Chain A
Amino acid sequence: MSIIEIKNISFSYNNTDLALSNVSLSIPQGKYVTIVGHNGSGKSTIAKCIIGLLQTSQGEIIVDGLPLNLENVDEIRSKVGLVFQNPDNQFIGSTVRDDIAFGLENHRIDPKEMDGIIERFASAVGMSEYLNFEPTKLSGGQKQRVAIAGALSMAPQILILDEATSMLDPKGKAEVNDLVKQLHEQTNMTIISITHDIEEAYQSDVVYVMNEGQVLDYGHPHEVLAQEALLKSIKLDIPFALKFKYALKSVGIDVPQTTLEGMVEHL
C-alpha cells in the first residue's frame, strides 16, 4: 500500500537543466524509506515538490489518496511533516515552546490545549528541560529535535527528513538518527529520509538511488547497495559492512550475512 505515489514528475530551477527528469516513486506506507544520491542528484527537490513548495512541470503527486493541487495542498501539508537541513532557518519561535506552538497556531488549536501538546512532544524528543531556551543556546542536534517535535505535534502520517543531519556534528547526527529510529519502531508513521549517508541508507527498509534527476534503482538496501560498480559510477561508496564482506571474499572467506555483527558471528 503506497502512501505517496509520484508519477513522472519533472522540475527545473532555471528552465535549462532538469533537476528532476521523469521521476516516479512509490513510498510504501509505514516503512522507513531513504532516498540517496550525491548533492545535485535531485533528491532534495523531491521533498519540496511533495508538499507543493515547488511546482512540477509535469506529472502528478498523490499523497494518501489526495492528488496534489491548489485545493488539497493545505490538507496534504498537514499530513506531511517536513524537517529541513538548516537547523536555524526553520526555527521560528523565540523559544522552544514558541516554536512548537507555531504549527499549533497555524492549525487553529485552542490556546488552552497548547501547553499540554507542547510538553508532550518536547518530551517525546527529549527536550523537556529546554522548553524556555532560546535557539542561540541550543546545539544543532537540539534544534533539529525541536523541529521534529514541531512536525510531530501535527500528527502527520508521513515524516520527511530532508538532509536533516547534514549540518550536524556526530553527536547531533546520532541524537537525531536515534530519535528517528525510535519513531519508526514505536509508531506506524511513514518516514522518508533524504540523505547522502550510505550507512544510514543501509539501515532503512527501502532505498531509492538517484542521479542526475533520475531514479537509477530502488529496493531493499542490502541488495541495491551491494552493486559496487553502480554506486561508484555515481560517486557514492558502498556501505562499510559490504566493503568488509568483499575484502573477506577476496581472501577466500565467504560470509553470507549482510551486517557487520552477522559476519563476525559467522567467523
Chain B
Amino acid sequence: MTNIALGRYIPTNSIIHRLDPRIKIVNMLLLMIAIFLPARFAGYGVIGIIAVSLVLLSRLKFGFILKSLKPVMLMLMFLLVINVFVLRTGYVVINLFGLLVYSDALFQTAYIVVRLLLMIMITTLLTATTKPLDLTLGIEDLLAPFKRFKVPAHEIAMMISIALRFIPTLIEESQRIMKAQASRGVDLSEGKINEKIVAILSLIVPLFVSSFQRAEELADAMEARGYSPTSIRTRYKQLKITMKDWISFALVCLILASVVTLAWFV
C-alpha cells in the first residue's frame, strides 16, 4: 500500500510545499488548460520548461515522476499502433516491411504523449507537495462561493477529511479480516471460480458491515459534540495567502498568456 507513487505526499519541504493550496489548485487548473491549447511543440516546450523547473524547485526526484507514468505506458504503445494504421496523412516517414508510416500518425501520437506527460507531472507536483488535508481545505474554500448554487462545499470537505482519516484504519482492518478468514481456510490462490467469489465476499462483507456501524457511531459522536452541517461553524485551520503565492499565480497567468499567443497568434 505504501508503494503507490501516484497521489502520495512527499515531505521534501520546498518552496512549492509552502504555497497556499488554493493557489496551487488554481495554478494547476490554469496549466492544464494551457496544456490542451493547440500550441504544438512550441507551446509544449514552454510548459515543459516550466514543469521541469517546478519539479526542480520542489526537490522531488524525476524518477518518482516517471514512475507515475508506468501505468500508462502500455496504453500509449497501443495508441501508437492504432494511430499508425489509422492516420495516413502528411508525408511518409518510413516504410516498415510494406507498411507506410505517415508523419501525422507520429506527430499526433507525440502530442498525446507529451500532453499526458505534462499532465501527470503537474498533478503529481500538486499531490506530492500538498498534504491531503490541506488540499481538502483548499477545495472547501474554492467551492465556497458556489454554495449559492447549492454546492455543499463544507459537507464535501468534511466527507473527504473523514475518509482520509479512516483510510489507514480501514487498511489495518482489512488486513485483520484477511488473516481471520485465512485462519478459516480461505486461500485465494486455489479453488474454483465460485469458491473464489465466496472467499472474496468473506473479505468484503465484514468490511462493509463494520463500516456502516462505524458510520453510525461516528454520526452519534459528531452530533453529541454539537455538529450540524448546516449550522455556522468556525474552522481551526486557517489558510493564508502571501506574496510568494501571488507571484506564482502571476507567473502561471503569464505562461497561459504566452501559450495562447503561440496557439493562435503565431
Contact = CB atoms under 8 A, between A and B. Distances in A.
A–B direct contact (CB < 8 Å): yes
Contacts of B218: 89-90, 92
A175 interface: no
A154 B226 contact: yes
Interface of B is mostly: helix
B234 A94 contact: no
B240 to A, nearest CB: 12
A92 B217 contact: no
Contacts of B172: 136
Contacts of A94: 133, 161, 164-165
Contacts of A91: 165
Given A103-B226, A106-B225, A136-B172, A111 B214 contact: no
Contacts of A111: 234-236, 238
B159 to A, nearest CB: 12
Interface residues of B, number: 29
Interface of A is mostly: helix
A82 B133 CA distance: 27
Contacts of A5: none
Given A93-B165, A94-B164, A106 B224 contact: no
B141 to A, nearest CB: 14
Interface string B143-173: 0000000000000000001101100110010
Contact of A150 (B162, B223, B225, B231): B225
B227 interface: yes
A98 interface: yes
A108 interface: yes
B234 to A, nearest CB: 5
A88 B223 CA distance: 16
Contact of A107 (B217, B221, B226): B226
A47 to B, nearest CB: 9
A77 B165 CA distance: 25
Interface string A100-120: 011111111111001000000
B145 to A, nearest CB: 20
Interface in A77-92: 77-78, 82, 84, 86, 88-92
Nearest to B166: A88
Interface residues of A, number: 36
- Kindly name the residue among A82, A84, A97, A105 whose own CB sees the greatest number of chain B CB atoms within 10 A: A105
A135 B169 contact: yes
A78 B164 contact: no
Contact of B217 (A89, A102, A109, A134): A89
A86 B213 CA distance: 11
A51 interface: yes
Contacts of B82: none
Contact of A102 (B133, B168, B227, B238): B227
Given A107-B226, A135-B169, A90 B236 contact: no
Interface in B203-252: 213-214, 217-218, 220-228, 231-238
A74 interface: yes
A91 B221 CA distance: 8
A90 B235 CA distance: 19
Contacts of A86: 217
Given A94-B161, A105-B234, A151-B225, 13 more contacts: A51-B224, A53-B223, A77-B224, A77-B226, A84-B224, A88-B214, A102-B222, A102-B225, A104-B236, A108-B233, A134-B165, A134-B168, A154-B226
13 contacts: A74-B226, A78-B226, A84-B217, A84-B221, A90-B217, A90-B221, A92-B222, A93-B165, A101-B236, A102-B227, A107-B226, A134-B168, A151-B225
